[in-house]
Structure 1
Amino acid sequence: MTTPEISPVEAGAPQKRRTPLLVALDVVRGAMIGTAETVPGVSGGTVALMTGVYETLLTSAGHLIAGIRHAVTDGLRGRGLAEARAQLGRVAWGVVLPIGVGMVVALLTMAHVMEGLLEDHPETMRGLFLGLVLASLAVPFRHSHRAEPRSPAVPWTMREWLLAAVAAVAVGIVVSLPAGNLSPEWYVLIPAGALAVSALVLPGLSGSFLLLTLGLYEPTIAALNDRDLGYLATFAIGLAIGLVTIVKLLQWLLEHRRRVTLVVLTGIMAGSLVALWPWQDADGMRIAPTEPIVAPLLAALAGAAVVIAILVAEHRMLARREAVVAVEPVEG
């Protein structure tokens, strides 16, 4: 379910035709990302990074935002839509659209299911996601060792280890904040939506957890389940504002400061593990392991095993491709 390397979409590069199987896998990826966003403490960005589509989605989102901006500003100034078409042509629509469909379907169908599972089996579910995220740390950590996908690996310096540690501690503090109780008014929902989508883009930070910290998680889940269009439309305005700002910033960072950005993202993911400690009291504070113990541990091992299996399969697939390329005759 992963791609050989997480690399940005090349500007203007021709996009390969997607087979029905790849489209179906992208829908599944989107469903996994959308499902993750309904779970406090789990980041959709983490799942996107784990399944190999993070940089593709981020770069495509940046081009989409730029295309819309040029369509509005250039259209109003009578400059034509050439630049808007160019930017929209750089979007990996064959990947973005199936993933978007999967995300929407999962958000509308899985919100109630995940709410029930978290209520009935909170320790086991947190254990499962703890294992998933813990094993997924290998993804940004491994890719941060290379400036480019196939360049020689360069180990982290002491400064980079320190930077990752600072990011981990900062996120650990954020996810340890007690839950608030804000009223879901429009002037609250718009900035909350911006924060939530920022967390969606950043692996390791959970939009659902930030909403839980603000006291808006349950109202938002209820609005999804009840199809409260007024609430959702107001929240979507905040989502759009957050996308325009954080996506362009991260796109620039990954294009110009890729290594250090992945170092920081690794630290952010590590810090988010605090929120996934299986045993918590009614106020969300971490406590020593109590019953049930076996089920959360087994769930954590199962989650880690799934990620490790994906990474091993990806490594073997990449090794086979490199072997084929090595023996192919040089033309000319």
Structure 2
Amino acid sequence: MLKTILEGILIGIANIIPGVSGGTMMVALGIYDKLIESITHLFSRFKKSMRFLMPIFVGIAVAIVVFSRLFEFLIETYPIPTNLAFCGLILGSVPFITKHVKNKGFDLSMAIPCIVFFMIVIAMAVASGGADSQADMNLNFVNVILLFLIGIVAAATMVIPGVSGSMMLMTLGYYEPILSTVNLAVDSLVHFNLNSLLYCVGVFIPFGLGIVVGVFAIAKLIEWLFERFQTQTYWAIIGLLLASPIAILLNTDWSSFSIIQLMIGILTFAFGWFLSSKLGGE
């Protein structure tokens, strides 16, 4: 069980870093097929599935709580080098996906999903309003519904190899607010601040329900898509990945730009590319 919890922690760390795919980490650890099977057959093989899934979910939760504060600090204090590192992580994972479509040709049925998903990501980034626009986290009916839908999107992208759920949250403007809410929840528990804790619970309930729905829905959908439209599905993922660095740069705070920041950013980009390519190549 300890080994599975540690695997869950690695998956959690991957999911919290924009550009690093939790699904890719699952593949690298050799547990992706078993995890998808456990989710899709949860009710028919409940005890067996839960014995495998629970330690993983515990590890993911531990990683999110422990590392949320670090990444919130990096984005607020060093936005340019941090976001360029995320871009490197994303682009470094592209060869991991393209190897699945290598030597399979390229026609209109592959170009359409690639272009459509590319344009969807760019449109979402433009619609989000840029670096100064973060999601409204005030608890009202509309925002609760949005949190539920965002949870579905985040969960769906978290379990697809090569696609980063946290990158999608960043594109939609929810990455930093969710990190801040996780950190606020930890602080509220430590200081017994009931009002803040209740607010955090109000955010986590719809977001968490969305994640549960998204994980189960996408697991079934992944099985269906890869059985029938494997190559087209990979090209859709490639379109999403290629657009994601553009979306992140559009939403980066460039007010602190300097030559030194840019040079550091180039180094962090290269490091992100190297790290992602190594993870994806395992």
Q: Does the CA-based 8 Å contact 2:96-2:162 persist in structure 1?
A: no
User: CA contact under 8 A between 1:279 and 1:289: conserved in structure 2?
Assistant: no
1:184 pairs with one of 139, 143, 154: 139
- Looking at structure 2, the residues matched to 279 and 211 of structure 1 have their Cα atoms a distance apart, in angstroms, of 12
8 Å Cα contact 1:204/1:270 also seen in 2: no
> Which deviates the most, 217-226 or 103-112?
217-226
1:325 aligns with none
Rg larger for: 1
What is the rounded CA distance, in whole Å, between the counterparts of 1:182 and 1:104 in structure 2?
A: 21
**Aligned counterpart, 1:281:** 253
Letter in structure 1 aligned against 2:80: E
Residue 303 of structure 1: CA displacement? 1.7
Any gaps of 5 or more consecutive residues in structure 2? 187-199
- Conserved? CA contact 1:44–1:206, under 8 Å: yes
Among 106, 116, 128, the residue aligned to 2:85: 128
Q: Displacement, 1:197? A: 2.0
Count of aligned residue pairs for this structure pair: 259
Q: Work out which structure has the larger RCO, using CA pairs closer than 8 Å and 6 or more positions apart in sequence.
A: 2
Instruction: Pick the aligned partner of 1:31 from 3, 6, 9.
Output: 9
2:94 is matched with: 137
Residue 17 of structure 1: aligned partner = none
Structure 1 residue 114, shift from structure 2 partner: 0.9
Which has the larger displacement, 256-265 or 215-224? 215-224
Q: Is residue 63 of structure 1 aligned with residue 41 of structure 2?
A: yes
Aligned 8 A contact 1:140 1:266 in 2? yes
**Deviations, residues 14-49 of structure 1 (Å, cap 9, x unaligned):** xxxxxx8xx64x655533442344455665445546
Q: Classify 1:138/1:129 alpha carbon distance in 2 versus 1 (closer, same or farther; 3 Å).
A: same
TM-score normalised according to structure 1 size: 0.63
Q: CA deviation at 1:120?
A: 1.4
Per-residue CA distance 1:61-119 (angstroms, 9 max, x = gap): 2222xx1xxxxxxxxxxxxxxxx23x765x5955x455433311111111111101111
Q: What's the CA shift for 1:236? A: 1.7
Which residue number in structure 2 is paired with residue 320 of structure 1?
none
Matches of residues 12-161 of structure 1 in structure 2 within 5 Å? 24=3, 27=5, 29-39=7-17, 44-45=22-23, 47-48=25-26, 53-64=31-42, 67=43, 84-85=44-45, 89=48, 91=49, 94=52, 96-145=53-102, 154-159=103-108, 160-161=110-111
Q: d(CA) in 2 for partners of 1:212 and 1:301?
A: 20
Shift of 1:273: 1.9
- Taking the aligned partners of 1:126 and 1:214, their CA distance within structure 2 comes to 15
- CA offsets 1:245-275 (integer angstroms, 9 cap, x no match): 3332222112332222222112222221213
**1:176–1:274 Cα contact (<8 Å) kept:** no
Q: CA RMSD in A?
A: 3.6
More helix by share: 2
Deviations 1:142-192 (A, max 9, x none): 1234xxxxxxxx333232245323322322222333234353334443333
Distance 1:208 1:176, change over 3 A: farther
Matched, 1:197 2:155: yes
What does residue 205 of structure 2 align with?
233
CA contact (8 A) 1:128 1:299 kept: yes
1:28 to 1:293, Cα distance in 2 relative to 1, 3 A:
farther
Superposition deviation, residue 54 in structure 1: 4.6
Q: What is the TM-score with the length of structure 2 in the denominator?
A: 0.73
Deviation at 1:295, TM superposition (A): 0.8
CA distance in 1: counterparts of 2:150 and 2:117, whole angstroms? 22
Q: What is the distance in 2 between the residues matched to 1:51 and 1:187?
A: 34
Identity %: 27
Structure 1: 4+ residue segments shifted above 6 A = none
Q: Deviations over 1:286-313 (max 9, x none)?
A: x99865111111111112222334456x
**Counterpart amino acid of residue 91 in structure 2:** L
Distance 1:210 1:220 in 2: 12
Measure, in 1, the Cα distance between the counterparts of 2:29 and 2:105: 23
